[in-house]
Amino acid sequence: MPLPGLQWVRERSVGTKLLILILPVIAGFILALEWYFAWHRDMARVEESVTQQAQMVATQIMADRTYYATVIVPRLAQSGVEVTDRYHEIPGAIPLPVTFLREVSETTRGGHKHYTADLLSPWPINKNQGIRDPFQQESFAYLSQHRDGVFSRIEVVNGQRTLRFMKGDFASAQVCVDCHNAHPGSPKHDFQLNDLMGGMEIQIPIEPWLVKVRRDEGMLLIWGAGVCFLLIGVIWYGVHRVVTKPLSVLTRLMKQLLAGSAGLQPASRPGKAAAPELRDEVKSLWKAFAEMEQIIKRQHGELQWTNVKLKEQVAERTALLQRTLHEWLKAEQGSPALIQAAPLPIILTHPDGRIDTINGPALQGFGYDAATVLGQPITLLIAEADWHRAVTQLWQDCASHAPVAVQLQGLRKGGKRFLLETALSVVGDHDDPRLLLTMPDLHEMRPVA
């Protein structure tokens, strides 16, 4: 038993059914459009904007470190000020450039809400500044191959979608190289100037940007819903004008034709009683076509029976004409003039099978001209085995002086074979006989399978 909702759909008009089928497609298209185009486009813009901000932060921090290492540290060192990572313990000492950069990063990480900065290295003196996760491993692998590049991607950090950005930290001053190579806690002691020593990781939460993206998506969804309703209206109007209305008219005309209407009367204005009939135009039209199909099948059968009868009558009359013409020509001793004037194909041959006379219908049927076939063996036109069989039967029955009815295979020019119902008899003088071969219309002969 069909579901009530499905039964309701089946009873609706073609336009309503099309809308029910098209509406999910339109809605799915709008959602796909919003997801694959708008969302990815906006996320690409957010990532680009945040990446530029991270680039500026990392550049600023590293510029401060470079200035500190190349300007401040050398001048103070010349004045006797000690530069050490244990400057907290020594009065008047100042931090190493790397210590300066690390403590600046720790300060930003602890007190800045918009971003955090962290100095990392695959060869850390401070073990807390080593590689801790896959992102950092991949970033250093990338930076080791791309000196001027940066590595970034969006990940979830502490429950928030965050852009992680890594920029290479290279040995920009000789004091940095000497310090790392000489430090007993350094895993690597062969650094050179401008070598990759570590990297600056910047993390920026992107939730504030996502709020705007979601707001834009909501506006896009509203706009898409409006376009969806507009398309539904246009489709409904088009389906009504192009499909529903013509089908309704065609259904009415089919019913009038089945009812035996002599003419097409103008359609009356549909009222309440006609509404149910128009709700399922296709079903109604299908029923009308089914009834018309039965009528056509019945009429086709009657026509086939009539055609068979007509063919039988034509065949009988053609055979009668063939027999009459054969007897007449036999009585006239196969007169060449009468043969040429005959309406059916006729061939007159010598006893050895050479063609003596052939009329126009026979030439047309076999596809030759008279100059080509006269004097040639009859096997040019008739299959040799069939001809010898027919001649043998004729000489065996020659005492009866009656024509021999025999079926032969004709050979048209080009090699095509066809079946012939022929009459064969002997005409002429006893000393100089001829073989008279009469045939039906060759254009109606069926080919040999």
Residue pLDDT, tens place only, 22-42: 777 777 776 677 666 767 777
Model pLDDT, residue 276: 45
| CATH topology (fold) of 21-211 | Beta-Lactamase (3.30.450)
- Compute CA 150 distance to the chain's CA centroid, rounded to the nearest angstrom: 43
Please report, rounded to a whole number, the percentage of residues in the chain having pLDDT higher than 70: 76
Reply yes or no on whether the pLDDT at 364 is more than 80.
Answer: yes
Q: Which of residues 323 and 411 earns the better pLDDT score?
A: 411
Reply yes or no on whether the pLDDT at 275 is more than 60.
Answer: no
Reply yes or no on whether the pLDDT at 210 is more than 60.
Answer: yes
Q: Do domains 21-211 and 318-444 have the same CATH topology?
A: yes
Q: How confident is the model at residue 8 (pLDDT cuts 50, 70, 90)?
A: low
Q: What is the mean pLDDT of the chain?
A: 78
Options 3.30.930.10, 1.10.3720.10, 3.30.43.10, 3.30.450.20; CATH of 318-444: 3.30.450.20
The closest alpha carbon to 446, from 410, 422, 414, belongs to 410
- Compute CA 413 distance to the chain's CA centroid, rounded to the nearest angstrom: 48
The sign of the CA dihedral 240, 246, 247, 251 is: positive
CB atoms within 10 A of CB 432: 8
Reply yes or no on whether the pLDDT at 165 is more than 90.
Answer: yes
Model pLDDT, residue 344: 83
Reply yes or no on whether the pLDDT at 109 is more than 70.
Answer: no
Model pLDDT, residue 314: 60
CB 197 within 8 A of CB 171: yes
> Facing residues of 204 across strands?
163
Residue 432 DSSP one-character state: S
Reply yes or no on whether the pLDDT at 137 is more than 90.
Answer: yes
Model pLDDT, residue 151: 94
> Edge to edge, what strands does the sheet with 160-170 contain?
116-120, 196-205, 160-170, 150-157
Reply yes or no on whether the pLDDT at 267 is more than 60.
Answer: no
Q: What is the dihedral of CA 177, 181, 184, 186, to 10 degrees?
A: 80
Model pLDDT, residue 449: 59
Q: How confident is the model at residue 166 (pLDDT cuts 50, 70, 90)?
A: very high
Q: Where are the chain's structural domains? A: 21-211, 318-444
Whole-angstrom distance, CA of residue 199 vs CA of residue 64: 15
- Which H/E stretch holds residue 448? none
CA distance from start to end of the chain:
54
Reply yes or no on whether the pLDDT at 269 is more than 50.
Answer: no
Average pLDDT over residues 441-449: 65
Q: Which of residues 350 and 415 earns the better pLDDT score?
A: 350
Concatenated DSSP letters of 179-194: HHHH-TT-S-----TT
Reply yes or no on whether the pLDDT at 447 is more than 70.
Answer: no
Average pLDDT over residues 172-178: 77
Reply yes or no on whether the pLDDT at 183 is more than 90.
Answer: no
